[in-house]
Amino acid sequence: MFIRNYRREQLLHYFFLIPAMAAIANLSCLIENVRRDLRFHRLLSLFYLAIGLQNGLTALMCWGPDEDWVRIFWAIQAHTFFAVAPILVAICSFASGRRLVNPWTLSVCGLALAVDLFSTSAPGFFITEFKHLEFGFAPIISAPGGIIASTVHVVAIAVSLYLLWNPRQWNAFFERKVFTIALIVWWLAIFSNFIPMSGFRFPPMHPVVDGVLSVLFAIYVNRFSAGPQGILRTFSNALISGAIGLLAALFIWPLTSRWEIGPWILSAVSTAAGISFFSFLVWLSGRTDGPVVAVGAMDLGEYGLSKQELRICELVAEGHSRSFIRLVLNVSDGTLRNHLKNIYAKTLPENTTGSKDQLQRLTVLLSKKKVVES
């Protein structure tokens, strides 16, 4: 019992490291999205910037020794709390085949902005005090303030679930069931923050969920994106791998804190976990298990197409738009245009028509090849 309580106390004492790791993971995902030019990727960048700031400020609040500084950190964090709601509604709009900016996102954005301005002008209405708990400082929220603040995310949840359950055309980039479950889990973690804000000695759980989802996102991007490894992705993978290594060290630290060789064990475990995860991400990015290189049983070897051009042919044959192809393959509009020009030159005789006609002719050709080969 003593050992278990000791471990719990040590973990809570260093709990600030968990939101710090989550912020590093968020930064990794932000860097991964920076080099992409789709509007959806810009939206994802904004999302990871917001929750990265939220987690970073949570770490500072848990670590902060002075209440005055904690009040400043909380004032900034409150803005990110309200900003995330319309961003997530816009992400759900994209996943359900709608425009990013639509009446739903505008309505949630207006509500979030109104409550944010109210919380800024009347902070005492929302937060009654800052209480020092085992894991750090926690703002104590009033009952009316909690109801008003939670209303923003309750409305955002309702709108998001409506959009996901009534899609116009589901975006095949997302696996619908996994996406919906991840969204619900993330929002449950957000609402768990009201437990410490009510004075209970229970640390905020959203950094844990944010960190896990960021790691899964990094795995997904490396697994299904056909983009090059590049300097930014390497740096992004190194950041999130470092977070994994430090997190592994944090969880075994209570077991080794009384050993003389404890620091050596921590260093070895942290380094091994970080290097292993980084190697795993690099290995995933080198695989071709995302878009396959041929359409069903169709063989396009006679045209001398590159691997990337074969992937584009598959996606074109399946009826996907250019925006979706750019999203899956992680390429810019200019790069995709050049690939399509090369494909037209290799597959279409007397290639003199406009790009739209060429795309239609390519689609017909791929359809015929698919029928013949089947």
202 and 325 housed in the same domain? no
177 and 43 housed in the same domain? yes
Check whether 333 has a pLDDT greater than 70.
yes
H helix or E strand, kind and range, residue 60: helix 39-63
Picking from 175, 201, 206, 176, the residue whose alpha carbon sits closest to that of residue 189 is 206
Does 273 fall in a domain?
no
Give the model's confidence band at 169: pLDDT under 50 very low, under 70 low, under 90 confident, else very high: confident
Check whether 115 has a pLDDT greater than 90.
yes
Predicted local confidence at residue 265, as pLDDT: 78
Q: Which of these three, 215, 249, 268, is where a domain ends?
A: 215
211 and 351 housed in the same domain? no
The answer to whether the CB of 218 falls within 8 A of the CB of 206 is: no
Regarding predicted confidence, which is higher, 186 or 331? 186
The pTM (predicted TM-score) of the whole model is 0.77
DSSP codes, 100-152: SSSHHHHHHHHHHHHHHHHHHH-HHHHEEEEEEETTEEEEEEPHHHHHHHHHH
32 and 156 housed in the same domain? yes
Tokens of 321: 């738009």
204 and 325 housed in the same domain? no
Of the candidate ranges 9-23, 162-176, 282-296, 346-360, the one whose mean pLDDT is the lowest: 282-296
Does 37 fall in a domain?
yes
pLDDT one-digit tens code per residue, 197-214: 888 888 888 888 888 887
Check whether 283 has a pLDDT greater than 70.
yes
131 and 27 housed in the same domain? yes
Q: Which of these three, 189, 215, 241, is where a domain ends?
A: 215
180 and 305 housed in the same domain? no
The one-letter amino acid code at 31 reads I
Check whether 298 has a pLDDT greater than 80.
no
Taking the alpha carbons of 254, 260, 266, 272 in that order, is the dihedral positive or negative?
A: negative
Picking from 153, 160, 152, 53, the residue whose alpha carbon sits closest to that of residue 98 is 160
Does 23 fall in a domain?
yes
Predicted local confidence at residue 195, as pLDDT: 87
319 and 210 housed in the same domain? no
| Residue 362 belongs to domain spanning | 301-373
CA distance 137 to 68: 11
Q: Which of these three, 165, 181, 215, is where a domain ends?
A: 215
The answer to whether the CB of 328 falls within 8 A of the CB of 346 is: no
Predicted local confidence at residue 227, as pLDDT: 54
Does 62 fall in a domain?
yes
Q: Number of folded domains in the chain?
A: 2
Query: 131: which strand partners?
Result: 138
Does 170 fall in a domain?
yes
Predicted local confidence at residue 160, as pLDDT: 94
pLDDT one-digit tens code per residue, 345-358: 888 776 555 566 77
192 and 320 housed in the same domain? no
User: How much of the chain exceeds pLDDT 90, in percent?
Assistant: 17
Predicted local confidence at residue 87, as pLDDT: 93
Does 164 fall in a domain?
yes
Regarding predicted confidence, which is higher, 286 or 133? 133
205 and 306 housed in the same domain? no
pLDDT one-digit tens code per residue, 88-99: 999 999 888 888
| Mean pLDDT, residues 303-307 taken together | 77
Predicted local confidence at residue 356, as pLDDT: 63
Predicted local confidence at residue 103, as pLDDT: 94
Does 196 fall in a domain?
yes
Does 230 fall in a domain?
no
38 and 147 housed in the same domain? yes
199 and 321 housed in the same domain? no
Tokens of 220: 């997904």
CATH of the domain at 168: 1.20.1070
CA distance 54 to 73: 9
Check whether 104 has a pLDDT greater than 80.
yes
Beta strands in the chain (DSSP E): 127-133, 136-141
Give the model's confidence band at 159: pLDDT under 50 very low, under 70 low, under 90 confident, else very high: very high
pLDDT one-digit tens code per residue, 55-70: 999 888 888 777 888 8
